[in-house]
Amino acid sequence: MEKLGLLYQGKAKKLYATEDPEVLWVEYLNQATAGNGAKKEQIVGKAELNNRITTLIFDELKRVGIDSHLVKQISPTDQLVRKMTMFPLEIVQRNVAAGSFSKRLGVDEGTALKEPVLEYYFKSDPLNDPFINDDDAVALGLATREELAQIATLARTINVKLTALFASIDVRLVDFKIEMGKTSDGEILLADEITPDTCRLWDLRSGADAEGDGAVKDGQIERLDKDIFRKDLGSILPAYHEILGRLENLAASH
């Protein structure tokens, strides 16, 4: 497969055409960003970690019936994926209060939610990816009600499967952001990536408040995600390596 012209460059990846009109080439980048790009840093090795982590997670989800756009990993930093028409939505699932949810609603970080929360954000850098509801999405032409119903069902199923996957490697899935798109034949699939960049992951081996029955402080949580970068808690590389190692051990156990 040959990499052709650059189609898109985001904060964490570049997307290229290939000679197959139904297949795209994804190149992961070493760049880490926070605050919609306000904080930015090059971290050598991050691209390889996220490429491998996404591949392993998408493979594990496929084993339990969740398909994605992933075709295969082709190098330490590159993947081939199915071409998709992407919904301009960030689809967020929350299991535990954290981040903007805690700030917006005044809920202590670490509080377990009575049921998972599904949220949508309009993908727009100039608008800082604002929170929107179903009516907003339909009114703006971002998705139809029928598509949103499919997206919601798939997102909630992914949450169940992904929560179980991370629990099996002693990690608590606090929340995560995913994206979806439609194939040329109209199928809605999981796309983009699932990595410590896009999830909040708390280590259950560290003795933190695993049950989430009250607020937890930074000193009590071993974070295995990009909050380390957001909060200036140190290097993200050891945490990302830890997630990768546990996923590789899980894959080897099958």
Residue 213 has pLDDT above 90, yes or no: no
pLDDT digits (tens, 9 = 90+) for 39-51: 899 999 999 999 9
Q: pLDDT category, 208, cuts 50, 70, 90? A: low
* Helix pair 46-63, 145-167: axis angle to 10 deg: 100
With a cut of 60, say whether residue 216 has pLDDT above it. Answer: no
**Gyration radius from the chain CA atoms:** 18
Ordered by where they begin, the domains of the chain are 3-82 (3.30.200.20), 85-235 (3.30.470.20)
Q: 122-161 pLDDT, tens per residue? A: 999 999 999 999 999 999 999 999 999 999 999 999 999 9
Provide the pLDDT for residue 102. 96
Percent of the chain with pLDDT over 90: 90
If you average pLDDT over every residue of the chain, what do you get? 94
Coil, strand, or helix at residue 111?
strand
Tokens of 30: 């070493």
Given pLDDT bands bounded at 50, 70 and 90, which one contains residue 35? confident
Crossing angle of helices 237-252 and 46-63, in 10° steps, is: 30
Amino acid sitting at position 102 = S
pLDDT value of residue 220: 66
52 CB-side CA count, 13 A: 17
pLDDT tens digits for range 151-172 = 999 999 999 999 999 999 999 9
Q: Is residue 17 over pLDDT 50? A: yes
What b/e sequence results for 25-47 when a residue is b if at least 16 CB atoms lie within 10 Å of its CB, and e otherwise?
bbbbbbbbbbeeeeeeeebeebb
Give the pLDDT confidence score for residue 19 in this predicted structure.
Answer: 97
Please, are residues 205 and 223 in contact by the beta-carbon 8 Å criterion?
no
CA dihedral 100, 104, 110, 114 (to 10 degrees): -120
Q: Kindly state the tokens that stand for 89.
A: 């939505």
Which residues does residue 92 pair with via DSSP β-bridges, in sequence order?
119, 177
Q: How do residues 95-119 score in pLDDT, each as one tens digit?
A: 999 999 999 999 999 999 999 999 9
Q: Is the pLDDT of residue 217 over 80?
A: no
